[in-house]
Structure formats: C-alpha cells, structure tokens
Amino acid sequence: MQITDIQKSKVAEWIDDGASLSEVQRWLSEELKINMTYMDVRFMLIELGLTPQDREEITPADPSVLDDAGAGPQEPIESSSVVDDGLQKGSVSVDVDRLMKPGSLVSGTVVFSDGVKASWALDQFGRLALDAGGAEVRPSPEDLKVFQEELRKNLEKRGF
C-alpha cells in the first residue's frame, strides 16, 4: 500500500512521540483510514527508517499466546538465597520472551550474578541453549542451579 508524504510525516511524528508499532497500526486505521496488518506496518516503518518504541531487544509489544492464557505481564524473577552447602548465591534474573524464538518451544534472557547477560532457548527435545552474543558463557555452578530453579518456576507459572 502506498501512503502520501503527508501521511508518512504523520507516522514519523507518532514514532517521535514514542508510539509503539501497534499504536501506529491503530492510528493509521482510526485517523487516516488506512487498514494495514501488523507486519505491513512493520515493513513500512523499516522502509521509512523509523524505529518504534516497542522495537525490542527480545520482546515485542505484540502479546503472545502465553499472555492470552492469563499468564500476565512478563516480569523478571529475582532470586538471592543460600545454597545447601552454605555459600551465598548471587542474584540471577530470568525472563521469558513473549514471542518465542523460531525453532524453540520457549525462550528468554538470563542475567547471571557476574553481570553476563545471555539469551536462552529450550527446543522441542528439551535441549537448553545459552547464547551471550559471541561471548563465552561460563556461569558458576551456583548460578546454574539458581537459573535452573528459577526457570522451572517461571515456566510452571506459564503452564509449561
């Protein structure tokens, strides 16, 4: 669909004001009477060189099936406790993506106690993958234990 330069400037103004991709889609329909799919709006913004506020590192503004099932908003789970051997665990934050990565059943991010941030994915065979964007991921045994516990709890809350 072709839009005029005036309409393009209106879209750019919305983006500059902090609009998300879904808001742009809604306002195109309501104010400019242009009906476009979410993906068409996304492609249009790419062509215009605009980046909406919901342009995420990992999670888009579009809700996932999990949210429709009543899992609620995505929130990191913080954990800090004592391991059985008496060592103090560091803080490990586990997030689950709203929109899963292709080829995975579930995916998300983790920040280990040493500050290393990595994305994780669990495939259909139950294999867990960690990716820190080229950096080597070597969490401590305590961090791995906390990560596994928090991941399990987080996935149980979401029905996995």
pLDDT digits (tens, 9 = 90+) for 3-18: 888 888 898 888 888 8
- Outline where DSSP puts E strands in 65-116: 77-79, 92-96, 106-111
Is residue 86 located within the same domain as residue 152? yes
Residue 15 CB-density burial (10 A; 0-12 exposed, 13-18 middle, 19+ buried): buried
Provide the token pair at 79.
């954990």
Asked if residues 123 and 142 have their Cβ atoms less than 8 Å apart, the reply is no
Domain that residue 23 falls in: 5-48
> For residue range 38-64, what is the model confidence (pLDDT) as tens digits?
888 888 888 888 887 754 443 444 444
Is residue 71 located within the same domain as residue 149? yes
∠ CA 116-120-121, nearest 5°, is: 175
Is residue 36 located within the same domain as residue 78? no
Asked if residues 111 and 117 have their Cβ atoms less than 8 Å apart, the reply is yes
Is residue 35 located within the same domain as residue 103? no
Mean pLDDT within 79-102:
62
Q: Which residues, at least 6 apart from 31, have a Cβ–Cβ distance to it below 8 Å?
A: 10
How confident is residue 101, by pLDDT bands cut at 50, 70 and 90? confident
Q: Identify whether 57 is part of a domain.
A: no
Q: Identify whether 59 is part of a domain.
A: no
Is the pLDDT assigned to residue 108 strictly greater than 80?
yes
Provide the token pair at 55.
């342009």
Q: Identify whether 54 is part of a domain.
A: no
Question: Exposure pattern of 89-110 as b/e (b: 16+ CB <10 Å)?
Answer: bbebbbbbbbbbbeebebbbbb
Is residue 76 located within the same domain as residue 35? no
Asked if residues 92 and 147 have their Cβ atoms less than 8 Å apart, the reply is yes
Report the domain count for the chain: 2
